[in-house]
Structure formats: C-alpha cells, structure tokens
Homo-oligomer: A and B are copies of this chain.
Amino acid sequence: MDAALNHDALRAALSGQVGLFSGLPEAGLTRALALGQRQKCGKGGTLFHQGEPADAFYLILAGRLQVGQATPEGQHVIIRYLGPREIAGCVAVCGGIPYPATATAVEDTWTLTWSRTRIAELTEPYPVIAMNAMRIMGGRLTEMQQRLREMQTERVERRIAHALGRLVVQAGRRTPEGIEIDFPISRQDLAEMTGTTLHTVSRTLSAWESQGIVLGGRQKVVIAQPHMLVAIAEDLPDEAG
C-alpha cells in the first residue's frame, strides 16, 4: 500500500481519474499535491465528527469511509460510503458550515488532506476545481433526492436491493461466486442505510440466499445473480420459472 503512495505513483493515479481534478492542467495537479498532506486513518477511526467546524477537506487515496448521522435519541443512519478517488467534507468546507455528518473509516484509509485555507489557494488560480466540486455536490444532491423518493415510495425489500445495487457499482469486486461488496458491512449497516432493522435485513437476505440470489457471511455480502437483484429493485415481474 505504501508503495502506491509515493509521489510519482500518486500523480499517475490522480491524473484524469479524480473527478475533483478533471480538466486541471499539469501545473495545477502539481500544486495540489504540494499543498495536500498525506494522512492515515486506521480502521474504526474517525476523520471528522458531525457538528465540528469544518476545517479540512479529504481526497481518499485508499480505503473506505462511512458517512453517518446520529439522532439526538441515539439512533444512527448511514448516509453513504466513500471510496478511493472520492472526496469527503466538501459540503461543509465549501459552504462554510460545520460538518453535517460523521466520517469513520471502515478499513485502514489513506487520504490527501487540505486545510480550508489551502483549498482557497488552490481554487483561486484553478477555478475548474470549484466547478468540479459543484458538479460532485450536484450529483450527490441528485442521489439524495432519489433515495428520499425511494424511502417514501418503496417497501423494505426494494430499498435493500437498491442499496446493494449502489454498493455493487461503488465497491463491487468480481469473485468466482459473484460480485462481492469489497469492505466489511454488517446487517446492521445495511439496516441503517435503508431505514429498517437488522432483523428485517437478515430475513430478507436469508430469503434471497435460499433463492440463490446472494451469498451471505459475517460482515459480507456476495451478489450471485445481479440481474435478479435489479429485477427486485425495479419491481420487474418475477423472472423465476
């Protein structure tokens, strides 16, 4: 892992694959790398807490973050997961507001970190970065609107199918048995993503497993028949014979 984090490899990896930096000239990339600070957050660690003043902005180099909110009553919901080449903290830093959520690492995570002042130094000469940040925020807002619609109109089973579908796109890894979600995720986590209980998630996954759609495991989900999951998510007529 460390080998991948030397300067040249970093530069190659960032060039053209990071949405935040797309369209940025070489000089800008150099500047961004120079201003950013490499940082490690161990599994289970917290990058920032909900309500804290937002003073840093993170680009994930490797690992996985869970972004969640806690309610005053002590309940917890998961807003999204973030993986390599995605950014965290942009809403708060750009808007000048406290972090609206808490980011914790679900695996060892390496980030490139900029303080708020550094961000200003970057976006001033390279406004394309600000435009990219806006595009990213727009995409997330659109996604949140979709999820709100799902929460309001769909039953639990479809919501779980949709959540898994997003995880497949974002963190799917091909294995002989099917597509595996490439980080540890529990039934409780899925419940907090879909607004239900771990019991219902467990029952649903068990039912799917008996149909051969998924394979379960401890903090593990493998989708054996992705098309069936899509059929459930889109509420298509059952394809089973």
Contacts and interface: CB of A to CB of B under 8 A. Distances in A.
A178 interface: no
Contact of A138 (B73, B97, B152, B192): B97
Interface string A37-75: 000000000000000000000000000000001011101
A75 B148 contact: no
Contact of A69 (B69, B141, B145): B145
Most chain B C-beta atoms within 10 Å of own C-beta, residue among A73, A146, A152, A235: A152
B134 A73 contact: no
A235 B151 contact: no
Interface string A81-107: 000000000011011110011000000
Contacts of A171: none
A139 B79 contact: no
A77 interface: yes
Contacts of A234: 72
A80 to B, nearest CB: 9
Nearest to A151: B151
Interface in A114-136: 127, 130-131, 133-135
A148 B149 contact: no
A144 B140 CA distance: 10
A75 B195 CA distance: 20
A69 B146 CA distance: 8
B151 A195 contact: yes
A189 to B, nearest CB: 13
B195 A153 contact: yes
A145 B79 contact: yes
A69 B95 CA distance: 26
B144 A145 contact: yes
